[in-house]
Each structure stands twice: as structure tokens, then as C-alpha cells.
Amino acid sequence: MSAATAFTVIGHRGARGHAPENTLLAIDTGIALGAPWVEFDVQLHPSGALLVFHDLTLDRTTNGCGFLADHGFEALRALDAGRGQMIPTLEEVLDLVDQRVGVNIELKSADGTAEAVAGVIRNYVAAGWPIEKFLVSSFHLPELWEFKQLAPEIPVGALLCGVPLDWAGCALELGAATLNLSSEFVDPRLIADAHAHGIKVYVYTVNNVAEMRMLRGMGVDGVFTDYPERALAGFAIL
Ligand code: G3P
Ligand code: MG
């Protein structure tokens, strides 16, 4: 196995360094740059739609303002999420990806998000998507637990922005395939504990090739990056 394939490169919010985050353009750009996985954020809107969007509010990434949940579906779809892109739905992203790469669906909201996402994934698996093409993650570990109960066959990743007392214990309890860890909290003991239990460690968000190499040297299995091409080029010359 080559160095490039042994280290998983995940396009963050598609390829946020090159296109407006969490848009179809960003997802397509991440794929075009060679990322074997793309990550994006999903929220359950009061209309029942699953929207691909990071913040609770519209101000930073669109020409709208205020809370996303306070706006109707059609009004949200009329907004510009950057370069004329609209806020996409989960289904639109999956249709665009069309099994070309793996998808890491991050559950941003709780209270029904797990159930709604499990329903969508079930439909796409029934239509031929392999379960290995999915990784569902969340910082909201109870919501991720709910997802795992509803769709135990789909791999999940526990998101952490800290170092828990019981190291990788939460990932183990969730039956997680991966521990997705903030670059601020990379600790060799956490990596060792995850690996001892067969859990891979991915680190977010890493845009510097020297840092990617350092993490790989520590045994980290992959990174989320806004610039997938940097990781791919960086490791091709190792
Ligand atoms: O899933 C990795 C990363 O996306 C988590 O942080 O805030 O970028 O969604 P955030
Ligand atoms: Mg995310």
C-alpha cells in the first residue's frame, strides 16, 4: 500500500479552501482535487429537510441573517451561499457524489436528526450505495448513539474537541469506527487507546503539510483538510 492510500484525506466541508463551504461546488471541487472522502455538516430544518450547513446562523456564509431555523425552506433556498450556490440538501449532495467518494455526514443538530439521516442513508443503501461509503459523525454523542441504534450497520465516528478522562472510551461504547479529534487535542495516549481498540483516528482541520506529516508520524490515520490537494501532493513525495 502506498503512503497516499494508507493515510485518509478528507475534504473538509467539501474543499473549503477553494469553494464556498458545504455547497455542491465545494463537494464537487473536493472530489475533483482527488479527495477520497468529503465531509459536510447536516442540520434538520423545522420543515423536515436535511440542510447541509455549518452554523446556527446565516450571517457568516450567506447573504441572509439570523437563525437558519427561523426561516422557511424556500426562503433559505433563495439565499446565496457563495458564488451563486444555494444551501443544498443532504439528498442533493449524495446525488452529486453518486458513490464517487466516501461521505462523512456530520450531524450538527439533534432531536430527530439521527432518525432523518438514517432514513435517507437507508434509501441510498437500498439504491446500491455500499455501507463503507458512509461515515456518520457528531459532537453530540447521544444523537450519534441514537443513529447507531437506528442504523447499526453504518460506520460512525465520535467527534471530540478535548481529551476525555476515559480516553477513547466514548468511541468504544458507541461502536465507532473512528475517533475524529481536534488538532488542538492530539494526545499520544488517546491515539494509542483508540488503536488498541481497533478505532482509527482522524484529525481536523489540518491545512499544513508539515503538520500532516507530524500527525502521521504519531500514528494518526487521516486528516480533514480544506485543501485536499496539499495532503495528496505532500504524501506523494514521501
Ligand atoms: O468533522 C470534522 C470537523 O468538521 C468538525 O468541526 O466545526 O468544522 O464541523 P466543524
Ligand atoms: Mg464538520
| Angle, vertex CA 55, rays to CA 53 and CA 59, nearest 5 | 105
Cβ of 193 closer than 6 Å to ligand 1, yes or no, is no
* Residue 195 a catalytic site member: no
Cα of 54 vs centre of ligand 1, distance in Å, is: 8
State the DSSP code for 78: T
Cα separations (Å) of 205 from 15, 56, 59, 76, 193? 11, 20, 22, 27, 21
Cβ of 41 closer than 6 Å to ligand 1, yes or no, is yes
Per-residue pLDDT, 36: 97
Question: CA–CA separation, 47 vs 89, rounded Å?
Answer: 12
Cα of 204 vs centre of ligand 2, distance in Å, is: 9
Ion ligand 2 nearby residues (CB, 5 A): 41, 106
Per-residue pLDDT, 114: 98
Per-residue pLDDT, 59: 98
Contacts of 88 (CB under 8 A, 6+ apart): 22, 23, 24, 27, 51, 52, 96
- Whether residue 205 is preceded by a cis peptide bond, meaning omega within 30 degrees of 0, is yes
- The residue whose CA is least distant from atom 1 of ligand 1 is 106
The cell for 95 is 446525488
Q: Which DSSP string do the residues of 99-158 spell out, in sequence order? A: TSSEEEEEE---TTHHHHHHHHHHHHHHTT--GGGEEEEES-HHHHHHHHHH-TTS-EEE
Per-residue pLDDT, 236: 58
Per-residue pLDDT, 100: 98
* Residue 45 a catalytic site member: no
Helix (H, G, I), strand (E, B) or coil at 37: strand
Could you tell me if 102 and 135 are in contact, meaning their C-beta atoms sit under 8 angstroms apart? yes
Per-residue pLDDT, 5: 46
Helix (H, G, I), strand (E, B) or coil at 96: helix
- pTM given for the model: 0.97
Question: CA–CA separation, 101 vs 73, rounded Å?
Answer: 28
Per-residue pLDDT, 171: 98
Helix (H, G, I), strand (E, B) or coil at 223: strand
Per-residue pLDDT, 235: 72
- The residue whose CA is least distant from atom 6 of ligand 1 is 204
Cβ of 106 closer than 6 Å to ligand 1, yes or no, is yes
Strand partners, 224: 10
Domains and CATH numbers, the chain: 3-236 (3.20.20.190)
Per-residue pLDDT, 128: 98
Cα of 56 vs centre of ligand 1, distance in Å, is: 14
In the block, residue with C-alpha cell 492510500: 5
Per-residue pLDDT, 238: 41
Strand partners, 40: 105
- The residue whose CA is least distant from atom 3 of ligand 1 is 204
Per-residue pLDDT, 200: 98
Pocket test for ligand 1, best of 12, 138, 139 (most atoms within 8 A of CB): 12
List per-block mean pLDDT (blocks of 10 residues) for the chain, which spans 238 residues: 68 98 98 98 98 98 98 98 98 98 98 98 98 98 98 98 98 98 98 98 97 96 97 72
Could you tell me if 182 and 204 are in contact, meaning their C-beta atoms sit under 8 angstroms apart? yes
Q: Phi, psi at residue 141, to the nearest 5°?
A: -65, -35
